[in-house]
Amino acid sequence: MSYNLEEIKKTIKIGFEELGGIDKFIKKDEKILLKPNSLQPSKPETAIVTHPVFIKAVIQVLKEKTDKIYIGESPGVGSFATGAAISGLKKVIEEENIKLIEFVPNIEIEIKDKLVFGKFMIDKRLLEMDKIINLPKLKTHVLMQMSLCVKNMYGIIPGLKKLEYHARADHDRIQFAKILVDIFRAIPPHFNIVDGILAMEGEGPGTSGIPVNLGLIIMGENGFAVDRVIPEFIDVDPYRIYTNRVYKEYINKNKDIEYKILGENPGVLKRFVMPPDEERRGLFGYLIRLLRNWTLSKPIFIKEKCTGCQVCVKHCPVTALLYKGKDIGIICDYNKCIRCFCCHELCPEKAISIKKPFLKIFSK
């Protein structure tokens, strides 16, 4: 499978048929919002963003049911319009005559059985849609281990609110995963189609990740089930992914998340190279945080690659970073740093690497 428009359309149509037909999910003339991954302005060959040809194929399949199609995002860096221009998505939007939405925070929504905090600011246009279709990229993620269906919906949180939620999770990956699971349950997409054709392994989800041809499209109604099954194809423990672990332990009463594979089961396609993982709960979590400069991975700033754009400085949720000019580059206050790795995720120059901890015994 490659980014061949007709081949992708055919596969998506077969997928809908396997799941009971497109009519089961999309009714005539419904208002549909597509939520792709558009983390930062990137070319599609970097595997950072959902591929524009993939999105075009989804749009053309959906047009059999409706022309009322919108595409919305709040990227980590820059505007969605800028990101769309660089990735090639803008051309698709114009050719297909659909509408682009930059999310703004203008309504508060609430989730009753919250895991962390039940109120989120979102864009009210999300609530005006009949259906939301989630279009994640299959990527590794240094903080959550993988960015799939659940993580992709973090992009409905507009701009700076994302930084606030990161800061409130502090050093705790489980806490951040709970926030993601809350957001996903507050605005659950009605359908998910994952772009795993060109996927990403290594230290994703930004420029430090490694694109890898996987040739996979995974689709399903339940995003938690889709996220549960994907690790089976890349030889990864499904509960290494923090959002899967949180859903299983806190929502699913510790039962394995159920899924059923319809259509072709490809088995393990590739053993993925994964980012470092660090458990931080209970007494261990307390010790790890206390000795964080020895026990946690940390971002390292490579002066020679740094262009001084200060994207990292602007997006650090705890203002731990300072740009000191091109001779010194970025300096980091590691006592403030909560190891959210937003800086690593968003640096456009691969100028931030991740240094593994000195005392690895505490990390697992």
Site track for ligand SF4 across 340-359, x = CB under 6 A? xxxx---x-x-xx-------
Work out how close the CB of 345 gets to ligand SF4 at its nearest, in angstroms, rounded to a whole number. 8
d(C-alpha 334, C-alpha 197), whole Å: 37
Which is nearest to 206 in space by CA: 50, 344, 81, 45? 344
Size of the site for ligand SF4 (CB under 6 A): 27
Determine, following the binding rule CB under 6 A, whether residue 312 of this chain makes contact with ligand SF4: yes
Determine, following the binding rule CB under 6 A, whether residue 77 of this chain makes contact with ligand SF4: no
Region near ligand SF4 per CB under 6 A, out of 92-100, 147-155, 194-202, 335-343:
335-343
Sorted by sequence, the CB contacts under 8 Å of residue 249 that are 6+ apart come out as none
Apex 131 CA angle, 261 and 137, nearest 5: 55
CA dihedral over 44, 45, 50, 56, signed as positive or negative: positive
Q: Kindly identify the residues of this chain, within the stretch 287-306, that bind ligand SF4 according to CB under 6 A.
A: 299, 301, 306
Work out how close the CB of 273 gets to ligand SF4 at its nearest, in angstroms, rounded to a whole number. 21
183 vs 346, beta carbon nearer ligand SF4: 346
Work out how close the CB of 297 gets to ligand SF4 at its nearest, in angstroms, rounded to a whole number. 9
Determine, following the binding rule CB under 6 A, whether residue 41 of this chain makes contact with ligand SF4: no
80 vs 301, beta carbon nearer ligand SF4: 301
93 vs 330, beta carbon nearer ligand SF4: 330
Determine, following the binding rule CB under 6 A, whether residue 39 of this chain makes contact with ligand SF4: no
d(C-alpha 344, C-alpha 40), whole Å: 12
Work out how close the CB of 328 gets to ligand SF4 at its nearest, in angstroms, rounded to a whole number. 11
User: Which residue from 311, 327, 353, 358 is in contact with ligand SF4, where contact means CB under 6 A?
Assistant: 311
Chain centroid offset of residue 330 CA: 26
Region near ligand SF4 per CB under 6 A, out of 60-68, 213-221, 264-272, 331-339:
331-339
Determine, following the binding rule CB under 6 A, whether residue 206 of this chain makes contact with ligand SF4: no
Determine, following the binding rule CB under 6 A, whether residue 330 of this chain makes contact with ligand SF4: yes
User: Which residue from 20, 21, 266, 308 is in contact with ligand SF4, where contact means CB under 6 A?
Assistant: 308
Determine, following the binding rule CB under 6 A, whether residue 184 of this chain makes contact with ligand SF4: no
Work out how close the CB of 206 gets to ligand SF4 at its nearest, in angstroms, rounded to a whole number. 10
d(C-alpha 323, C-alpha 51), whole Å: 33
Cβ burial 250-288 (10 Å sphere, 16+ → b, else e)? ebeeeeebebeeeeeeeeebeebebbbbbebeeeebeeb
Structure tokens at 104: 């703004």
User: Which residue from 49, 236, 321, 357 is in contact with ligand SF4, where contact means CB under 6 A?
Assistant: 321
What residue has token string 């991954």? 37
What residue has token string 């959902």? 50
Residues of this chain that interact with ligand SF4 (CB under 6 A) are 299, 301, 306-312, 316, 318, 320-321, 323, 330, 332, 337-343, 347, 349, 351-352
